[in-house]
Chain A
């Protein structure tokens, strides 16, 4: 079902997608700033404006994950009192409701509306949830100076409320009294610097990330060697020809070692980041596939790898198909990958044998920044040995009589980042290739002299 109701601004005609239809009451048009009444099906102009909207740090529509929940910025207020001016962003998720992001004096905090009433506790303090909060200052008039986006109450520029803050050192409670209501909001500090800005990614824009991060997805391309053309340090190698042979070999080798080292370091730096998430799943051979969400990942780098390692123990003569989907929450687009875990054992004329492994690592490469759900569709099958070497040799019992209901416990470990050993090996080989060529040429040349 669709998530938005689209309205046209009666003033400028701009199309506005209501993100919280049914909850939103006021929309301040993001194009012309006019304030619209959307409480009722017919959109009504409240205040007409013709001005460019002020730029805010977080654009409307930007999404980010705070406290484990994905939020979309749907509204922005600029407010001030006698001493300060600050921004408040309204966040919305249809499954989690509303939160506030308050940006004042370079510091960010997350605001959550209280559903229980703090109780006056004598003097200038209140008690809430077993904690005592002291009032920081006398209530002051707080004015809303600018509005953009949609809100669940009837907001307009020029609104004035009385407001103050109660605090107990760590947490604080904001108190606001309007003409006919009192609102309490719990404020929790968020990391400073650019952490919040980096966490929110505007729709259709490349995510914020370290400037030196690799921009080419090909570097850890999923298609392997054909997609990932390693950048040869050719310019540096060219001038070496002028040097003596012994120096050449030494320099070439030194350079190759240096380059390999650099590549490994680069791989580790850009490939490895984030902490691992573990998840368990039990599957039964011959049963329908089971789907489970392994992890929700917020990836901040422009491009990075995601590594999933599946492990099990004990099963014999079975294989487990692991179909992974990494689903971008914003676009619902999926990146798919496949892993096969198989382990067979038996006995033939040469004696007992085993094949396969109880672990399988699968990697996603070049995953753009965003919030993803990683799902796995896991199913197990019994391998029945079609070839019987006669009763004298036999096969292992489990391959013959199925063991259909025997559980296979799978443990998954998901980690953002991860170095592609195959790619790294290729890099290293190609880096050393000039030395091989050099040696081959020298040998060929020497042969030439001899003839």
Chain B
């Protein structure tokens, strides 16, 4: 794997996904901007708190029939907890996200199709969405004010810890999911579905002491 040297500490920063403009140095946690001039240090990312996620940078798998590598992670926190969003660098050149909360996984990709829905237009103007609101067959099940706790790996944006947003998860009757986020820059929507870990045929999962990797995940 190609790599550049971190301008802050000199450690190697691997180029997992060349399409991503930002990378977090795994050694000193500097957030690095990648451009034609190489890497430049634009600040520090928080050290991610310990968690037992089975995913890690470098885990690979198949999503929508396309091979992916986990290239980055953002951890989001809310008043009562936190969750991971893993950036998947996919073989078809697209970017997908794998949301991980409570041992459940949501495969998501950004979509602008639903942004014209009245509920989301009002949301963009500052209105709240409440649990039970419906939108194109989806029902809002989870409404939270969240804060970025930090990131690692390659990312499409820097992960400052003062970054806050409103996050709403919707579900439908068939296991599809919709995640809507609103921050200072506006509203974005991500659609996809819930799936089990085995469904994306992961390889190179994290080995966790005292637990055997299930046979189908090896």
State whether the Cβ of B175 lies closer than 8 Å to any Cβ in chain A.
yes
A127: which B residues are within 8 A, CB to CB? 173
Chain B residues within 8 Å of A327, by CB: 212
Q: Mark A104-132, 1 if CB is under 8 A from B, else 0.
A: 00000000010111110000000110000
Q: Is the CB of B173 within 8 A of A116?
A: yes
Residue of B nearest to A153 (CB): B80
The answer for the CA separation of A2 and B131 in the assembled complex, in Å, is 37
Per the 8 Å Cβ criterion, residues 186-213 of B in contact with A are 194, 197, 205-213
User: By the criterion CB–CB under 8 Å, are B103 and A23 in contact?
Assistant: yes
> A22-B50, A116-B171 are known contacts. Are A1 and B207 too (CB-CB below 8 A)?
yes
Task: Tell me which of B49, B81, B139, B208 contacts A94 (CB under 8 A).
Answer: B208
Q: Report the minimal beta-carbon distance from A371 to chain B, rounded to whole angstroms.
A: 8
Task: State the Cβ distance, B143 to closest chain A Cβ, in Å.
Answer: 8
Interface residue ranges of A353-406 to B (CB < 8 Å):
373
Given the known interface contacts A118-B173, A180-B131, the answer about A296 and B103 at a Cβ–Cβ threshold of 8 Å is no
With A1-B206, A3-B209, A116-B194: A97-B102 Cβ-Cβ less than 8 Å: yes
- Residue of A with least CB distance to B84: A22
Q: Is A332 an interface residue (CB 8 A)?
A: yes
Q: In the assembled complex, how far is the CB of residue B99 from the closest CB belonging to chain A, in whole angstroms?
A: 12
Partner of A95, one of B79, B142, B214: B214
- B47: nearest residue on chain A (CB-CB)? A41
Which of B50, B77, B141 is in CB contact (< 8 Å) with A182? B141
In chain A, what residue has the closest Cβ to B197? A95
Question: Is A92 in contact with chain B by the CB < 8 A criterion?
Answer: yes
Whether the Cβ atoms of B131 and A181 lie closer than 8 Å is: yes
A305, chain B: closest CB distance, angstroms: 22
Q: Is A225 an interface residue (CB 8 A)?
A: no
Q: Which of A262-290 contact B (CB under 8 A)?
A: none
| Interface-centre pick from B51, B143, B177 (highest chain A CB count, 10 A) | B51
Contact with B along A40-68 (1 / 0, CB 8 A): 11000000000000000000000000000
Could you say which of A2, A119, A153, A181 contacts B141, with CB atoms under 8 Å apart? A181
Asked if residues A329 and B211 are in contact (CB atoms below 8 Å), the reply is yes
- In the complex with contacts A3-B209, A94-B211, A115-B194, A182-B131 CB distance below 8 A: yes
Chain A contact residues, majority secondary structure: loop
Q: How far is the CB of A153 from chain B (nearest CB, A)?
A: 7
User: Inside 8 A of A94's CB, which chain B residues have their CB?
Assistant: 52-54, 103, 208, 211
A293 on the B face (CB < 8 A): yes
Number of A-B contacts defined by CB within 8 Å: 118
Asked whether B102 lies within 8 Å of A152 as measured between CB atoms, the reply is yes
A119 to B139, CA, bound (A): 10
Q: Is B217 an interface residue (CB 8 A)?
A: yes
CB of B131 within 8 A of CB of A22, answer no
* A115-B139 Cα distance, complex, nearest whole Å: 12
Say which size band chain A's interface belongs to.
Answer: 35 or more
Query: B111 at interface (Cβ–Cβ under 8 A)?
Result: no
Does A41 contact B171, Cβ atoms closer than 8 Å?
no
Q: Separation in Å of the A269 CB from the closest CB of chain B?
A: 30
A430 to chain B, nearest CB (A): 41
Do the beta carbons of B131 and A39 come within 8 Å of each other?
no
Interface string of B161-194 (1 = CB under 8 A from A): 0000000000111111100000000000000001
Given the known A-B contacts A23-B51, A116-B174, are A98 and B208 also in contact in the complex, defined by CB atoms under 8 Å?
Answer: no
Is the beta-carbon distance between A115 and B171 smaller than 8 angstroms? yes
Chain B residues with CB under 8 Å of A97's CB are 102-104
A7 to chain B, nearest CB (A): 11
Minimum distance in angstroms from B172 CB to a CB of chain A: 7
Interface size on B, residues (CB 8 A): 44
A347 within 8 A of B: no
Q: How far is the CB of B142 from chain A (nearest CB, A)?
A: 7
Known: A94-B53, A327-B212, A329-B212. A23 touches B171 (CB 8 A): no
Best-buried of A5, A41, A115 by chain B (most CB within 10 Å) = A115
Q: How far is the CB of B127 from chain A (nearest CB, A)?
A: 17
Q: Does B59 contact A (CB under 8 A)?
A: no
Q: Are A70 and B208 in contact (CB under 8 A)?
A: no
| A26 nearest CB neighbor, chain B only | B80
Inter-chain CA distance A39–B147, complex, in Å, is 13
Interface check B82, CB cutoff 8 A: yes
Given the contacts A93-B211, A116-B173, A21 and B141 also touching, CB distance less than 8 Å: no
> Which residues of chain B in 103-117 are interfacial with respect to chain A, using CB atoms and an 8 Å cutoff?
103-104
Q: State which of B53, B81, B82, B214 has its C-beta within 8 Å of the C-beta of A96.
A: B214
Tell whether A442 is near chain B: CB-to-CB under 8 Å. Answer: no
**What residues of B have a CB within 8 angstroms of the CB of A115 in the complex?**
104, 171, 175, 177, 194
- Cβ contacts under 8 Å, A98 to chain B: 102-103
Residue B122 lies at the interface, judged by CB distance under 8 Å to chain A: no
Q: For A332, what are the chain B residues with a Cβ–Cβ distance below 8 Å?
A: 209-210
Asked whether any CB of chain A lies closer than 8 Å to the CB of B37, the reply is: no
User: Which of chain B's residues has its CB closest to A93's CB?
Assistant: B211
Which residue on B lies nearest to A20, using beta carbons?
A: B52
Closest to B101 in A: A23
Q: How far is the CA of A1 from the CA of B52 in the complex (A)?
A: 9
**In the complex, chain B residues whose CB is within 8 Å of the CB of A96:** 103, 197, 214
B130 CB, nearest partner CB in chain A, Å? 9
**Restricting to A241-269, which residues have a CB under 8 Å from any CB of B?**
none
Give chain A nearest CB distance to B124 CB in angstroms.
23
8 A-B contact pairs sorted by A residue (CB < 8 Å): A1-B209, A3-B52, A4-B52, A22-B51, A70-B211, A94-B53, A94-B208, A115-B175
Interface residue ranges, A against B (CB under 8 Å): 1-5, 19-23, 25, 39-41, 69-70, 92-98, 113, 115-119, 127-128, 152-154, 180-182, 293, 296, 327, 329-330, 332, 373
For the complex with contacts A39-B79, A117-B173, A181-B141, 17 further pairs of A-B residues with Cβ separation under 8 Å are: A1-B208, A2-B209, A3-B209, A4-B52, A20-B52, A22-B52, A23-B102, A95-B197, A98-B102, A113-B102, A115-B104, A115-B175, A128-B173, A152-B102, A181-B142, A293-B218, A296-B212
